[in-house]
Structure 1
């Protein structure tokens, strides 16, 4: 396959065979927000709001630069938000209000 066909067919998170540093294969405990993110993915799928394929495409739509900057579950969260915006189920303003409420709860519990 030549370089042009690779650019056309390779998706942003398809990094197999590409030069990279060593992988950290150590097990780690998920942070509470990561567990909630995974649970959210399960609920969205169970409720038939966002399925696994839509999530995968949503992550790929972020592009190589964002995929490289964001962590695994951060990609999921951004993809979920974008998909919900596209489906008209959530607006950026509604998300901002909810995020502010979470920040306020966090501050009041400190």
Structure 2
């Protein structure tokens, strides 16, 4: 198979058989946000909003550079956002506002106060 043919047939996430170093398997407990991401995938699938095939295609659509740089669950969450934007179920502005709300709530929960600008600023 020529390089061009391989490029057109191989999806970005399809790295089987390519030269690479040894796989570094590291067992670790999932972070709370990763558990929530997995639960979100289940909810989106249960309610028939995003199915497994859409998620797979969405991850592939990220391209090899992003797939190579993002963690497993980061790929999922970016994919969910992109699909929800495409389906017009969520806008980037709505997502940004919700993220600010969650960050503020998290800061308040951990006793972190936001600095208020002084009157002279």
TM-score in terms of structure 1 length: 0.96
Separation in structure 2 between the aligned mates of residue 26 and residue 92 of structure 1, nearest angstrom: 34
Specify every segment of 5 or more residues in structure 2 that has no aligned partner in the other structure, as ranges.
111-121
> Per the alignment, in what secondary structure is the counterpart of residue 48 of structure 2?
coil
Separation in structure 2 between the aligned mates of residue 4 and residue 69 of structure 1, nearest angstrom: 24
- Pairing 1:41–2:33 present: no
Question: Shift in Å at residue 3 of structure 1?
Answer: 1.0
1:22 corresponding residue in structure 2: 22
2:95 corresponding residue in structure 1: 95
- Pairing 1:83–2:83 present: yes
Question: Shift in Å at residue 2 of structure 1?
Answer: 1.4
Q: Deviating runs (4+, > 3 A) in structure 1?
A: none
2:51 corresponding residue in structure 1: 51
1:65 corresponding residue in structure 2: 65
Separation in structure 2 between the aligned mates of residue 89 and residue 21 of structure 1, nearest angstrom: 41
Bigger Rg, structure 1 or 2: 2
Question: Shift in Å at residue 109 of structure 1?
Answer: 1.3
- Counting helix residues as a fraction of each chain, which structure ranks higher? 1
Matches within 5 A, 1:2-13: 2-13=2-13
Question: Shift in Å at residue 20 of structure 1?
Answer: 1.7
TM-score in terms of structure 2 length: 0.88
Give the RMSD, CA atoms, in angstroms: 0.8
Specify every segment of 5 or more residues in structure 1 that has no aligned partner in the other structure, as ranges.
none
How many equivalent pairs are there? Answer: 110
